Chain A
Amino acid sequence: MKEINKELLFDYIIQLGDSSMILGQRLGELCGHGPELETDIALTNISLDLFGQVRNYFQYAAEIQGEGKTEDDIAMLRYEHEYRSALLVEQPNKDFAYVIARQNFYDHYHYMLLEFLVNSKDEQIAAIARKSIKEVEYHLDFSITWMKRLGGGTEESNCRLQDAVDNLYRYTKELTTPTETEKQMAELGVGPDLTSLQASYYNSLNALLTEAEINVPKEIVFQFGGKEGRHTEYMGYILSDFQYMQRAYPNMKW
């Protein structure tokens, strides 16, 4: 195996963590606001799983960086353009259908990603993935069930989900379109060749949409950029909430 460049590996781990972290933050916003108690608990549990996984990634990143920083510095103290999360996950909780569609689009990708990462050439990434995949299996199950329930439910719920899918689908292709870092990691066997995952991603996603009585959007202009630090307007608002305590009271602890 070729020698892995430390900075590149650091950048890759940040990418692995950021999308899950921003999605976890979006889900955290729903704490106490879910449409029903059980769903509220489910969404915040998923958020907790994601933050737990991200903590593992960022502890590893901090170790690689070797500057004596912790996972909290990496999570809390970067600027907007330094976050490598995909555009999909920063989209707002417009209604429950948006929450579920966003979750499901991400879960499909996340599960496929982890299926590869459990055999990553990087031992620590593989260990984190083997832990995470069992949790993400539950997430995927949860969001698939709700996609079917909303799509096949009432006219209203179908209509809402169709609207969410029509609006969020444009952010899906970024997930399976590799950045320069992801391409290099694929060559080293650390990460998957994302391009090769694209077909199966859309096969399983579109099959689910059809089963859920939702039309697969056509003539989409796909949006990219989050994974390279170019975010939508929403990101600044998320970060101002997310980083508030650390920015206002540097080094504060619970």
Chain B
Amino acid sequence: MEAVDPHIEEILSSVSDPEIPVLTIVDMGIIKKVEQKEDHILIHITPTYSGCPAMDTIEDDIVKAFDEEGLKAKVKHILSPAWTTDMITDKGKQALEEYGIAAPKDASIDKAALNGEKGKIKCTHCGSMNTKMVSRFGSTACKALFQCEDCGEPFDYFKCLR
């Protein structure tokens, strides 16, 4: 996201992904542009996955957040540039880990892990690397399901998308 008015950024940062509440839409990297129009603010957002059901909710939440500050906002969905997990900010990645979702690794580690190689993703519960993939499709389109072989707990891994 390019630099925007701090007040607007603050409003945007109050909106989070309904499926991952600790991640604000700013940290998720889906805000691509903010345009001051004559009578409203136009927010350009790009979807994480084509079928992401959270996008409509996020749109409503953005409009509502601005409305509460007495501002009128509209949301435009854009597809280009396509979202990648690199667009998640460092702060966002940290928030994911603290929430119990392993943050996306770089493409080569991601590929090995999703092809079933063990020991690539750190357990978000106990920090062990002794983990294995259970399913490359998880509870939402963006996640895969892993399990720790030391503490036995399951956890989500946010898949790398490039």
Contacts and interface: CB of A to CB of B under 8 A. Distances in A.
Contacts of B51: 48-53, 55
A135 B50 CA distance: 8
Contact of A132 (B50, B135, B136): B50
A142 B162 contact: no
A142 B51 CA distance: 18
Interface in B132-162: 134-139, 141, 145, 159, 161-162
Contact of A41 (B50, B82, B135, B159): B135
A49 B135 CA distance: 17
Given A134-B82, A142-B137, A38 B161 contact: no
B49 A127 contact: no
Interface in A121-136: 123-124, 126-128, 130-132, 134-135
Contacts of B141: 45, 48-49, 135
A56 to B, nearest CB: 6
A38 B82 CA distance: 27
Interface string A215-233: 0000000000000000000
Nearest to A41: B137
B4 interface: no
Interface string B40-73: 0000000101111100000000000000000000
Contact of B162 (A123, A131, A134): A134
A116 B19 CA distance: 33
B136 A142 contact: yes
Contacts of A188: none
B161 A134 contact: yes
Main SS of the interface on chain B?
loop
Q: Pick from B47, B49, B159, B161 the residue with the most CB of A within 10 Å.
A: B49
A53 B136 contact: no
B108 interface: no
Contacts of A134: 82, 161-162
A49 B49 contact: yes
A38 B144 CA distance: 10
A112 interface: no
B36 interface: no
A50 B53 CA distance: 13
A48 B48 CA distance: 13
Nearest to B116: A145
Given A41-B138, A41-B139, A42-B136, A52 B80 contact: no
Q: What are the nearest 5 A-B pairs in CB distance?
A: A52-B51, A52-B50, A38-B135, A42-B137, A127-B80
Interface of A: 37-39, 41-42, 45-46, 48-53, 55-56, 123-124, 126-128, 130-132, 134-135, 138, 141-142
Interface of B: 47, 49-53, 79-80, 82-83, 114-115, 134-139, 141, 145, 159, 161-162
11 contacts: A39-B135, A45-B137, A52-B47, A52-B52, A55-B50, A124-B79, A127-B80, A135-B50, A138-B136, A138-B137, A141-B136
